[in-house]
Structure 1
Amino acid sequence: MKVLYEPTTFSIQDFGGVSRYFHELLNHAGPGLSCQLPVVLSNNLYLRDRQHTDHFEFFPRLAIPGSWRLMYHLNRRATLQALRRQNFDVLHPTTNDQTYFLDLLGDKPLVITIHDMIPALFGQHYQQPATALEVLARRADRIITVSENTRADVLRLLDVPAERVSVVHHGHSVRDYPAGPALRVPAHYVLFVGNRRAYKNFACLVEAFGQLVRHGFGELRLVCAGGGPFTPEEQELLHGAGIGQRTQQFSAVSDAQLAGLYRGAQAFVFPSRYEGFGFPILEAFGQRCPVLLSDTSCFPEIAQDAGLYFDPNDPAELQNQLERLLRDQELRHTLVQRGVARVADFTWPRAATRTRQVYEEARQTVPAYSL
């Protein structure tokens, strides 16, 4: 079976969860599955070994505004050429905001992966409506979601038949990262990872951490990784909570540095109101870091009893749970051991095998557009 991956995510992402997901599918395709990724130009870190592509980089050490447009244009042209050749059995786009390939797809099966329904649920934070996703979902022969929670959202928000929507959890690989530039971090800290936009609920953590410091944890620090520098509004929020001088921020970190941050943290806190899968949960489990999670969205599905939970609308409850976790060494040990066991349930070979099954199902499905 031959799968053609439409490569937009590798044009616009130097690194990130979506491109990492597709790169892992390529790595674990297995015998009998031939994968084509028509990338001509890309600065994506996961493609640098050129195991799956024969592409060029575009001044990767220079931040050139708009360079992604050139990459997108060249990679789109290569994709159109591959579509015209029709030498594939299934098309799997790497993003859900493009439809240019549909006119050339013909009767070939289309499989899409929906990682979350955030644009539909939090549309006030997005400039573009999710019309492309709606078009793709109607045309798709099979839809992959990365959690049962996301599947439920897809069935609630998109007009698609339930039998065409399958759950395939992400995998996770615990890697031994090579030594790199070490980050100077406090002796005792709580970790927050990723961007901090509204639905990520960063303000709840700031308020809870401020309360915690006032309850006798003056030596504790808050470390934020990724998400870019603090905005003036975030700086005002931190200073208003009395923790402006107790917060350290690394706007960009490597995978190795992030792994080190998890290993050194007293706890990883994920206060988001919604996630499609919550990949940082597995990252924390893999580095033996106890996790404190919102009791909402996909979190209980992914972490199960390996996480400690709180109401994301109640900073006082987050503060109480965090204090409990910091004071109770036995609880910390229990959560770490459960996390190690839980992360073993998520492997990329398993995810790739299940994805291949979806491809096979798509080839046997009566086309959605013909109904």
Structure 2
Amino acid sequence: MSSKIAINARYQYRRVTGVERYALEISKRIQPTPRMIAPNRALGQIAGHLWEQFSLPFQLQKNEILWSPANTGAWIVRDQVVTIHDASIFDHPEWFRPAFAAWTRLSWKVLANRAKAIITVSEFSRERLKYHLKISNQKINVIPNGVGKPFEPQPTKTINKIKRKYDLNKPYFLFIGTHEPRKNLAKLIGAFGKLKTSTHLLAIAGDKGKVFADPVSHALSVTYAEFLGYIPDSDLPALYSGAGAVIVPSLYEGFGLITLEAMACGTPVIASNTTSFPETTGDAALLVDPNKVEEIKNAMLQIIENPTLVNSLRERGLQRAAQFSWDESAHKTQEIISDSRL
């Protein structure tokens, strides 16, 4: 009897950020339609872990293999493939609450030993996870994230509507992400302050994370930034498309999906020159040292002053984004899951 795929859908109750978007996009493309196993309501961290370890395993049917797409999984389930998106919990435990970091490190070591296969989203993440989890190249598979509709250049009318909704009455640089230490928001705000510009805004979208150590609240009291809060998915393409540039100055990312979404919308990208960013963006972004405020500032200045560069980044970004597809990512993911039972 051939195996069927069941999906650990605990992620379904969370707001959509990079990991959740990955899980949603891949899940809806797997054929035949997999069985989604989720709690009957949103659960907190501890209750969610308890459900995953003591309820989820007993909901699996005999001929099913479990895919856990969002950095967690059931320890006792051996017929399982787990996606782990990056190794920041090992490389920078100080960015997380101690209890969360300790639990996650232990959980990943158990899952790496017991699961049939591990998927991650970049060569950078594979190398870091191999090092920390002591697993072979054969057990961990790289399948990059994808991008696609609705992330595409938006019409002017739609962009103007979004600008009015969020009171963006000047050209703006856009940051999107959870307000957590590795996103490096304080240095971005400092760099924008050094521009001393009255012609542009810095628009900051996203929520404070729940599992992270001391956030960047000390940087969030400035008057020259617009804090937009959490942006619903329906508004993101137009918000990207209307930006002068999207800035992703993270100290660490396993993939950097926001860079790809921005490029797909025809928006220039300024990103860090560290971790997975060179792998994801290729030659289609302005890369900067995220620890150097002056470099971040100078990149923004180039966007303001050099329209030829802006047009080149738009063209290269669209070409780069076209190389990534959720359909292809889903196809490769399904192959790994299916092959793991052979």
| TM-score interval, normalised by the smaller of the two chains | 0.7 to 0.9
| TM-score with structure 1 setting the length | 0.79
Give 1:235 deviation, angstroms: 6.1
Aligned partner of residue 250 in structure 1, secondary structure: strand
Distance 1:356 1:220, change over 3 A: same
* 2:325 counterpart of 1:355: no
2:166 aligned to which of 180, 183, 195: 183
In 2, the alpha carbon distance for the partners of 1:150 and 1:86 equals: 32
1:122 aligned to which of 92, 101, 110: 92
Q: How does 1:266-305 map to 2 (within 5 A)?
A: 266-305=244-283
Give 1:110 deviation, angstroms: 2.0
In 1, the alpha carbon distance for the partners of 2:201 and 2:110 equals: 46
Q: 1:2 maps to what in 2?
A: 4
Q: Residue type of the partner of 2:114?
A: R
In 2, the alpha carbon distance for the partners of 1:69 and 1:153 equals: 27
Q: 2:183 maps to what in 1?
A: 200
- Contact conserved, 2:52 with 2:74, CA < 8 A, in 1? no
Give 1:81 deviation, angstroms: 3.7
Paired residues in the alignment total: 323
Distance 1:109 1:249, change over 3 A: same
Aligned partner of residue 245 in structure 1, secondary structure: coil
Q: 1:94 maps to what in 2?
A: 69
Aligned partner of residue 248 in structure 1, secondary structure: strand
1:237 aligned to which of 208, 219, 238: 219
| TM-score with structure 2 setting the length | 0.85
Q: Name the Cα RMSD after superposition.
A: 2.7
Q: How does 1:325-364 map to 2 (within 5 A)?
A: 325-364=303-342
Aligned partner of residue 191 in structure 1, secondary structure: strand
Q: 1:35 maps to what in 2?
A: 34
Distance 1:2 1:169, change over 3 A: same
In 2, the alpha carbon distance for the partners of 1:268 and 1:290 equals: 6
* Percent identity of paired positions between Structure 1 and Structure 2: 28
Distance 1:354 1:325, change over 3 A: same
Q: 1:49 maps to what in 2?
A: none
Distance 1:42 1:337, change over 3 A: farther
Q: How does 1:13-52 map to 2 (within 5 A)?
A: 13-30=14-31, 33-39=32-38, 41-42=40-41
In 2, the alpha carbon distance for the partners of 1:67 and 1:155 equals: 30
* Higher Rg: 1
Q: 2:201 maps to what in 1?
A: 221
- Contact conserved, 2:175 with 2:205, CA < 8 A, in 1? yes
Q: 1:62 maps to what in 2?
A: none
Q: Residue type of the partner of 1:161?
A: S
In 2, the alpha carbon distance for the partners of 1:233 and 1:197 equals: 5
Aligned partner of residue 319 in structure 1, secondary structure: helix
Aligned partner of residue 305 in structure 1, secondary structure: coil
Aligned partner of residue 86 in structure 2, secondary structure: coil
Q: Residue type of the partner of 1:363?
A: R
Distance 1:207 1:71, change over 3 A: closer
- Contact conserved, 2:246 with 2:262, CA < 8 A, in 1? yes
* 2:111 counterpart of 1:139: no
Aligned partner of residue 253 in structure 2, secondary structure: coil
In 2, the alpha carbon distance for the partners of 1:358 and 1:249 equals: 41
- Contact conserved, 1:155 with 1:162, CA < 8 A, in 2? yes
Give 1:228 deviation, angstroms: 4.1
Gap runs ≥5 in structure 1: 44-65, 365-371
Gap runs ≥5 in structure 2: none
Q: Once the two structures are superposed, what CA deviation does each residue of 1:17-48 show, in whole Å capped at 9, x if it has no partner?
A: 32322222222113xx45111235246xxxxx
Q: Residue type of the partner of 1:288?
A: G
Give 1:95 deviation, angstroms: 3.7
Distance 1:22 1:143, change over 3 A: same
Distance 1:320 1:203, change over 3 A: same
- Contact conserved, 1:228 with 1:252, CA < 8 A, in 2? no
In 2, the alpha carbon distance for the partners of 1:72 and 1:323 equals: 46
1:317 aligned to which of 286, 292, 295: 295
Q: 2:83 maps to what in 1?
A: 113
Q: Where do 4+ consecutive residues of structure 1 move more than 4 Å?
A: 66-78, 176-181, 232-236
Q: Once the two structures are superposed, what CA deviation does each residue of 1:36-63 show, in whole Å capped at 9, x if it has no partner?
A: 11235246xxxxxxxxxxxxxxxxxxxx
Q: Once the two structures are superposed, what CA deviation does each residue of 1:239-261 show, in whole Å capped at 9, x if it has no partner?
A: 6xxxx221110111111222222
Give 1:69 deviation, angstroms: 7.3
Q: Residue type of the partner of 2:63?
A: N
